[in-house]
Amino acid sequence: MGCDLQFPNSRQHKPAAACIRETCTNCELNGNLLCVHTFKDLIEFAVLAIPWFITFFYGMINGGHIVALIIWIPLAIFFFIYFEALVLCRHCPHYAEQGKTLRCHANYGLPKIPKINPRSLSRIEQISWLLYIAILFLSFIPFYIIAQQWLLLAINLVFTFTLVIGLLKTKCNRCYNLSCPFNRTPSDVREKFFQYYPIFAQARQKMKK
């Protein structure tokens, strides 16, 4: 069993691999948690993220910030290929799915290099992930200001705000990487999650001891 990207009408057939349920039928979490997601979720994420990247690359090239961009690209590659998986993704049930690449809406197709660890993120992991995110997605601000690219600065800030708010309202409120700093899953859904994902519940209890 697994939760590779599915069409909506297949939700009841394939629960997530780490879930102890045999079917999603009559599950209280169905629709309230992204344990099974669809191509619609992937498209929604892309629609939010792509405008930011287009504006960012255009603004950095247009402003002549080539050296900064050359530095940014390997930092971004390292983040998405390894660092994010190490501090965030490997603690998510999506990491338990079959295959060597992720099948979630955010990092679809990226390699699963670090081994899965069902415990919650540590405070250091949360902080380091947030700092890296800030470096990658807010680094354009000083360069646009120096080059007086005021219109591009405003547009990129709008897309940054739209990306964050959009994810909080459509994905983070249903995400089952419960220790992610952006997670906004309701408490009642969290409690039910740990009933159906005992491996993650046990790892969480060990951290508390």
Q: What is the pLDDT of residues 80-95, one digit of tens each?
A: 999 999 999 999 998 9
**30: in domain:** no
- Identify the CA nearest to 1 among candidates 93, 114, 89: 93
Domain that holds residue 49: 40-208
Mean pLDDT of 196-200: 92
Q: Name the pLDDT band for 10 (thresholds 50, 70, 90).
A: very low
Give the chain's mean pLDDT: 89
| Helix locations, the chain, DSSP H | 39-62, 66-78, 84-87, 123-138, 140-146, 150-170, 187-196, 198-208
Q: Name the pLDDT band for 13 (thresholds 50, 70, 90).
A: low
**50: in domain:** yes
Check residue 120 and give left, alpha or beta (phi > 0: left; psi -120 to 50: alpha).
beta
**CA 13 from centroid of its chain's CA atoms:** 24
**134: in domain:** yes
Structural domain count, the chain: 1
**pLDDT (0 to 100) of residue 8:** 41
**98: in domain:** yes
